[in-house]
Amino acid sequence: MAVIEANGLTKRWGDFTAVDSLDLSVAEGECYAFLGRNGAGKSTTARMLLDFLHPTSGSVRVLGGSGRDPEVRARIGYLPGDLNLPRTITGDEAIRYFGSVGRPPDTARVDELAERLGMNRRRPFHQLSTGGRRKVGLVLAFMTDPDLLVLDEPTSGLDPVLQDTFRDLVSERKAQGATVWLTSHVMSDVEHVADRVGLIDRGRLAQQLTMDDLRRQTTGDIQLTFPEPPPSGAFDQVPGVSHVQVVGRDLSLHVDGPVTAVLARAAELGATGIRTHQRELEDIFLETYSGSETDR
């Protein structure tokens, strides 16, 4: 079942197109990471999912209906990129208010979330740090155990320990069948919780990949050592290999994709040593951006 389904979703303001003909589908129980530079259209898309913004053209369905439907909205937990609450409201007051206008939260669940996240429940919102405000927003988003979570930069300002806590919360909700829509600049969040990623560039969906696809790309550079200097063309016919360099008995190369064929060829040639360098996911996204800019 598709929990989020967008067809030709477009948002324009005058001559500026923020989101351009977006087609995508997010399945029940999936964590979909929607990634892109600032201004690429991530937050605009999230607001259209929830019907806070009306699309210029195209359509979107969420949980089988519309985000404007109170019954649908009650099943959604939302954390905006810039949570803007009244200056003097405290965390406890925000919980009571939002609990009165939507699905009532379970008190024990609220207490658990506040403790796990270290939320200050009594300090006025304007006195909280960026991380403190994120804690309030995360409690509000998770407190009703929603069927869909829409989270815009959820770990901004959180320390590494609380980033781990956030990942645990997402994993727990996924295990219970919830769907998660996530935007983040923290690649470790994406790597730990996402099942699939979509890369948006200047309003257009440039690429979609499963996390398994991405992980297969993270093995980048390999250096092999041989008893004797190997021939420079020794890996010419091996799939995915590029940038081969031979220096004495050492041969270095770059590989995109599985390394099985590289290792088999190295064994044939009698390699006596191997060292690898793992690329970060952020490097892969930067390369994808570079490619999309070249193509357009």
Same domain, 183 and 263: no
Domain end position, chosen among 214, 235, 256 = 214
Q: 140 with 272, same domain?
A: no
Q: Would you say 141 and 151 are in contact if contact means Cβ atoms under 8 Å apart?
A: yes
Q: Which of 214, 241, 261 is the last residue of a domain?
A: 214
Tell me whether residue 284 is in a domain: no
pLDDT at 181: 97
Q: Please give the Cα distance from 101 to 90 (Å, whole number).
A: 17
For Cα atoms 226, 230, 231, give the angle at the middle one, nearest 5 degrees: 170
Can you give the pLDDT at residue 283?
62
Give the number of other CB atoms < 10 A from CB of residue 18. 21
CATH number at residue 237: 3.30.70.100
Edge-to-edge strand order for the sheet containing 241-247? 241-247, 250-255, 219-225, 273-278
* CATH for 12: 3.40.50.300
Q: What local confidence, expressed as pLDDT, does residue 83 receive?
A: 92
Q: What is the pLDDT of residues 196-217, one digit of tens each?
A: 999 888 899 988 888 877 766 5
**Taking the model in full, what pTM does it have?**
0.78
> Furthest-apart CA pair in the chain: how many Å?
75
Q: Which pLDDT does position 196 carry in this prediction?
A: 94
Positive or negative: CA dihedral 199, 149, 155, 55: positive
- pLDDT in the model for residue 296: 40
Residues 200 and 244 in one domain: no
- Please say whether the beta carbons of 227 and 272 come within 8 A: yes
Residue 118 CA from chain centroid, whole number: 24
Q: How many domains does the chain have?
A: 2
pLDDT given at position 295:
41
Same domain as 235, residue 134: no
- 147 lies in which domain range? 2-214
One domain for residues 69 and 105: yes
Local mean pLDDT, 10-residue blocks, the chain (296 residues) = 95 95 96 88 93 95 93 94 94 94 90 97 95 96 97 92 95 97 85 90 87 67 92 89 92 82 90 77 60 45
Has residue 292 been placed in a domain? no
